[in-house]
Amino acid sequence: MAGSIEELLDILYTEIEEAKNMPLNNDKCVVERDRVLDMIDDVKAELPVEIKRAKDLVANKNDYIASAKREADGMRQQAEDYARRLINEDAIVREAEARAAEIIAEAEDQCRMLKHAASEYCEDALRRVEEAVADAYDEVKHSRAKFRSALGAAEGAPQQRQDNRRAMYDAEADEDEYEDED
């Protein structure tokens, strides 16, 4: 008569409940001794197996809980690592943006300095060209004046006849007009 402990206890309970009452006493009954003892022996025999199964279930439960805890800890660690990487990447991006802003500011400063230097250079070059042109103009005026006086001395006559000759260009008069315009 093998079965689980619960089945054996249910059968034993039914046996006692259906047993005949003792005469003049409702609390006591008559049962078949051998049959009830066999059932108790079966319960005793089955009890270590059930306890072992319960212990195995508890151990399996503990193993499952420990495995789940390890898995949860691993997932938590992965999430923390991922969050740390994101934070580091965000920090790297912010650092790169700050560095880019610095580089742009430096480039703009250099651009302003180069533009200023180029403007100064152009201004200086134009001033020198203007001075050279002015010096050349003065030299041309001086050379024309010398030429006129040399031409006048070569002809020997200060008066010229106006009907046959054209009037000579007067650089000094032209120079005076030029200076009056300024």
DSSP track, 36-96: HHHHHHHHHHHHHHHHHHHHHHHHHHHHHHHHHHHHHHHHHHHHHHHHHHHHHHHHHHHHH
Q: Would the pTM of this model clear 0.85, i.e. be above it?
A: no
The β-bridge partners of 29 are 21
Amino acid symbol at 99: R
- Per-residue pLDDT tens, the chain, 182 aa: give them: 556 778 888 888 888 888 887 777 777 888 888 888 888 888 888 778 778 888 888 888 888 888 999 999 999 999 989 888 888 888 888 888 999 999 999 999 999 999 999 999 999 999 999 999 999 999 999 999 888 888 888 776 555 444 444 555 566 666 666 566 55
State the pLDDT at residue 55. Answer: 84
State the pLDDT at residue 164. Answer: 43
State the pLDDT at residue 102. Answer: 93
